[in-house]
Structure 1
């Protein structure tokens, strides 16, 4: 296996599919010659040419609108929105056109396209470069929503997304682009080269959409997390000394009900962690799932640890960002419940 960063794994996934399938095209702002603001598409234009990997104007609605047309007529576009915060000018095209194509055409057309977006904090970009809008897309029927937490999953999930016949929102936690971190204010990064999940197979492989994975087995409490928060949850479990089972959801839509229900039925307690603001965040849906499926197993109230209900700050993002201390306190609280 090769050792890769998440950036390299994402690039490798696109490279594999572009090499296998001439219908796969990659485009977006600065993704061609420049290779993308985070260099996720570096070298693809040189390898596949300007008709397969190309730059677009700064017009997110246009980028997605063109992709919808391409996908409907048989191509498989994989487009990049430079930051997830920039996607809202394209929200109409995503939710009203791409998401509904199969249904509105009674199955005559599908819309096999992927929209890649760096998401969450990590660069002190504040309100316009650090948001986590996943819940906006999980609410729109017809979209699949994916958030990997490591390079191995990033490559396998992205290949699955490109091969899927329906539109996929693929959110890449920018804080994890170059390595996991210890979750604390010093932002110490552990290179993926020293981390088992940085080992990425060469060539084609897939990670199935809709299947969660248990990152840390435990008996006392279930922690549901995704993306960057998986690493925060693992740090909190280790530092608290509580026998927590940490589940990496990987895919929010479709959600892996079975893994969630099996774990909570076993532990009887549940803590939900996400970076987005708490009100109407995806944690509320997870809480409803657990309440409906596992009510008679619960020994304590379900607890959410999330971003605060404020605009994302600039210099103080670590005060906003759920860290191991906040998650560990939630674990202690539910154990006392």
Structure 2
């Protein structure tokens, strides 16, 4: 069962003013002390994927602000009751700004934010906000379209594997973006999905990758956080893509590229806002244009002409000429859900709970 979510909600007016005043008060009271900034991670910092990318952002904050800040992180925090305990504990310990870096932390962050109105919270990939809680996200689907295009061009079997984490709109969106792009260059392409129901579980990820290869997959993609699927691809002699960070060191022959999550600019900007007393609630969704994600260097198996095509897709995404979810788009039943030339709205993307044609899940 796929999770359904409403469109993200934006708080304006009095809520934003309240947060601004609160942020100013915090800095005035803490002027003599470094700002304590907390980070809550769903995986270990050594996953070389999602959490690794966020921790690079944390380190960038330390480098930028020096003794003006003191950062803390808690890794491998399960989504659920334990997350609320960890977030509350950071607030109780005097952290003035807390980043919670997984979709499944949304409700827990919101509850703690209501209990600690003088603490600023930033939640990654969710859609709920409050006077002292912002939401931030990355348009990962833009990169998934690039992977789909490359995979569609290079697959010999027409079968692209997708090791998927948990069925939330963000992940479904990525699967669909991959399939749409692949089928535009190879109409019979399939994206075969195996769910592991975890963000980080190398053993399950490895088993999923092996099962996909046994089904005839010769291009591997993933929305899980360890390099295990790519390592399996390397061992079995097929090609694939890294996730969230550059994983080439684990699969130097197999990796075609990877979507790199660049969180440092957001983290630095939001810490600066708290230090300046200008922080206010917001909801952002950034992509290639804003530098929130970039593509890792092309692997040796990506031909020169295909590199040019991929680079052009990135440039066209930045300029607005290309959008990954431009019609015609059909669902699994073959029904047209997006007409030719039309683009899906952000609201529809953010509640995506259905698959496009060519997805086998």
Interval containing the TM-score (normalised by the shorter chain): 0.3 to 0.5
**TM-score, with length taken from structure 1:** 0.33
Structure scoring higher RCO (CA < 8 A, sep ≥ 6) equals 2
**TM-score, with length taken from structure 2:** 0.31
